[in-house]
Amino acid sequence: MDKLNPPSGASPISALEPAEGYAGNIPLVLAHQWWLSGQAVLVDVRTHAERDWVGYVPGTACIPWKHYPGMALNPDFDSTLLAQVPCDTPLILLCRSGVRSIGAARRACELGYERAYNILDGFEGDPDADQQRGHINGWRHAGFPWVQN
């Protein structure tokens, strides 16, 4: 199977960026479409602290890639992902800026998920000139669903 095949009925493959070690990078708009339509499971790999302090997408799987503080790899990532999401399900992985989710997508592919995608720009996006996130790009900036405690 070609790892860049999107779920059936999904938007064109041309929107995806190929990547080494995982299925590819997916733009926010396409990730949002796949999630809303149920064509992929959105997995938030940020820490519980980030979700609590910054906000989160309701109805998503929360499986931290790393733990706060210290940002050590989550030793339960593999078992939690495998327990929550079947391996034949497309995954779209979300972190703060689209960097940590690359590592999580690579690991998911190693675990047998052939369609594990990194969401470009992440939840908060890139920092602006004042080193603040959420003003240039990212899930929140795009106006997609999120809540904050």
The arithmetic mean of pLDDT across residues 24-43, rounded, is 96
SS3 category, 58: coil
Burial class (CB in 10 A: 0-12, 13-18, 19+), 60: middle
Token pair, residue 3, equals: 């790892």
> For position 14, what pLDDT does the model report?
59
**Count of H-run helices and E-run strands, the chain:** 4, 7
> For position 5, what pLDDT does the model report?
47
55-101 residue pLDDT tens? 999 999 999 999 999 999 999 999 999 999 999 999 999 999 989 99
Mean pLDDT estimate for the chain: 91
13: pLDDT strictly greater than 70: no
The pLDDT confidence band at residue 103, using thresholds 50, 70 and 90, is very high
CATH topology of domain 17-119: Oxidized Rhodanese; domain 1 (3.40.250)
39-51 residue pLDDT tens? 999 999 999 999 9
6: pLDDT strictly greater than 50: no
112-149 residue pLDDT tens? 999 999 999 999 999 999 999 999 999 999 999 999 98
> For position 4, what pLDDT does the model report?
41
